[in-house]
Structure 1
């Protein structure tokens, strides 16, 4: 279809139209004209939205659905609709399915299920067979089938030699290795941040040391092997400092943090609401401040929703027995926009493309239309009605957000809320 965006303000520092309000004509998935005013013709659909802003399409580097195996949490088709209505044109999907995405056939299944979607799905292959941390999976075969990176979701690689071999092997085909930052022997049976709050609530704690020790180990391995390493969802002040120092050394290291680690602390746990049970656990205000500083100085490369739908049977139970995870696609933009300015927000939602080697095109005539549509203004209280996901385990219900996504134009399709 063909679309004409009316009075759209462009937020794209790489575009000559950055910060300008223009009309944009999109024909057969390509931007064919950008002017102050374009007259609509019969063969285009006019798009007129209040305070419309557009940017390059957003990418979320840490998303889980459920299918195959856990369709009650989220199917691929519905999950991609959630992503689109939340403003994301591309997502990286974790291998925590049943069976685990640890071979080329499983990668092909995911690519096939998503091939007609407006949202581009990029599978992350498991680093080890069945995510058990014992034997390395067939990384090259998965890359050939469409995997963009390799990691065991929320499972640390405890054997340092296994990570060393993976970093060495992946260099042969420029593969990106992910390593979840937790030393399990230090974390033990903890489930929340080990601090004053865990003591007051009588909940077993995971010390910040568990994350920091694992990151320090991984950085030593990276310095020895070379290669490219991504550390997802860091959460502590010391983690930021370790990665800042590693970048100063010239190591090929990148990292992300989550929207909830940037905006929530372990003080939320006072209600024992299991929606706040996430991994890594919510930390302290000192850690939140350090994460924001890490974004401002370039240490943290991207922000993710770490979207993890969990069905009600596994979430609305005693805190000890509930599964980790919160949904986050729907609330990501509005929440991030409350603590960063709009250009920073867009940068944090798009920077990951270069690290995961995903094509990115600026908003210019002749380029493919891969666009996120949004309104950056307006105070909104996020409620359960805003949760589009099949699972409703959002940590942001009742929180204040700023602005909201309208949807996307990508792969020749438009999806709006």
Structure 2
């Protein structure tokens, strides 16, 4: 393991004694051994020097899909983790929406085995119900023992309130975390975009915000009844924010995330009927987008996810109503976020989810494990096809302005810049 010397780096880590200081960082055998204003280099060290270099705790994305097993044409675990590393993420939580669905311990072991010896660490999410069909609970305890960090059915809301209740009660025996996508399918109906003026103007069937909000209200009532821990991913409406804020004030153990595309884009971009912008939950109006940013700033929303979901061209480049929901987002995550949020908030929201999912959060200090993201906040540009590293190219951010640039990561004893 070659020792590494990071030169003249501004540390962004509020918990570190070196926050906002420009320092050199010496890393040996995966451990930060020295932090100082100036550290002499020698031939044994790999030296990292970049323009306006900044370093933070390693970023964690709480929702990525890769495809393997079953959909390797969309993305493999190996390439997906390389994309994550080059995008600045030292860890990702893998959704169970492969084929087969990751709903037992052998599947968990398979994806963990595939992720060995990579710079970015993979943490699997096990399906909450068998085959993510919402009928019977999957082998939650066995998956937890095999390495699953949480349980949820990706983009599939549990319609049966009793299944949701039993899941919340059951996982408390081993301090499990339930992830619940919130959507009332009967209210969604055949809707494909946000219900409102834009959907009417475009002639597209709308999904009322009530479809999300009613399920959030139900699940929060269930959480209050059962106790336990609940994470609500990718919230997208103003009432959802209010409901979660109220639940937190009551002392319920509830956390939530928002997808970057819901923070950066609004429904007006749908006017060209481009299916790259078809996502779940759908893009909302501009007033809601601004409210989501406010909820980030007041900490109602705990973390931000790319909600990275690679899809092949056969399922994405179709008529708008036929296309699958989803966009890739790892490569564009940092650059898109810096256009709407201050740097320290971006870093905080890209690292906060570790605490929610029970993953060690290493402050940048001497004698700690080195898990670092390397970047500059200043560079401005436009996100283009050349920036896409994923096998699938279904990015909603093509043509969008970006700010900042990722240099790479140091993690698991590996430097990738």
The alpha-carbon deviation at position 317 of structure 1 amounts to: 1.0
Distance in 2 separating the partners of 1:83 and 1:190: 32
Distance in 2 separating the partners of 1:320 and 1:264: 19
Secondary structure of 1:165's counterpart equals helix
Which residue of 1 is the match for residue 415 of structure 2? 414
The alpha-carbon deviation at position 84 of structure 1 amounts to: 0.1
After the TM superposition, which parts of structure 1 deviate over 3 Å for at least 4 consecutive aligned residues?
A: none
Which residue of 2 is the match for residue 34 of structure 1? 35
The alpha-carbon deviation at position 303 of structure 1 amounts to: 0.3
Matched, 1:144 2:157: no
The alpha-carbon deviation at position 54 of structure 1 amounts to: 0.4
Which residue of 2 is the match for residue 84 of structure 1? 85
Taking the TM superposition and a 5 Å limit, the aligned residue runs for 1:124-143 are: 124-143=125-144
Matched, 1:50 2:51: yes
* RMSD of equivalent CA atoms: 0.6
Note the alpha carbon deviations across 1:46-92, whole angstroms, 9 max, x for none. Answer: 00111100000000000000000000000000000000000000000
Matched, 1:362 2:367: no
Structure 1 stretches of 5 or more lacking a match?
Answer: none
Which residue of 1 is the match for residue 198 of structure 2? 197
Taking the TM superposition and a 5 Å limit, the aligned residue runs for 1:49-198 are: 49-198=50-199
Note the alpha carbon deviations across 1:296-316, whole angstroms, 9 max, x for none. Answer: 111000000000000111111
Secondary structure of 1:329's counterpart equals coil
The alpha-carbon deviation at position 181 of structure 1 amounts to: 1.0
Note the alpha carbon deviations across 1:119-149, whole angstroms, 9 max, x for none. Answer: 1100000000000000000100000000000
The alpha-carbon deviation at position 277 of structure 1 amounts to: 0.1
The alpha-carbon deviation at position 43 of structure 1 amounts to: 1.1
The alpha-carbon deviation at position 103 of structure 1 amounts to: 0.1
Distance in 2 separating the partners of 1:181 and 1:301: 17
Give the alignment's TM-score, normalised by structure 2: 0.99
Which residue of 2 is the match for residue 278 of structure 1? 279
Distance in 2 separating the partners of 1:289 and 1:247: 21
Taking the TM superposition and a 5 Å limit, the aligned residue runs for 1:368-387 are: 368-387=369-388
Note the alpha carbon deviations across 1:150-205, whole angstroms, 9 max, x for none. Answer: 00000000000000000000000000001101100000011110111111111111
Structure 2 stretches of 5 or more lacking a match?
Answer: none
Distance in 2 separating the partners of 1:295 and 1:159: 30
Secondary structure of 2:359's counterpart equals coil
Which residue of 1 is the match for residue 12 of structure 2? 11
Which residue of 2 is the match for residue 213 of structure 1? 214
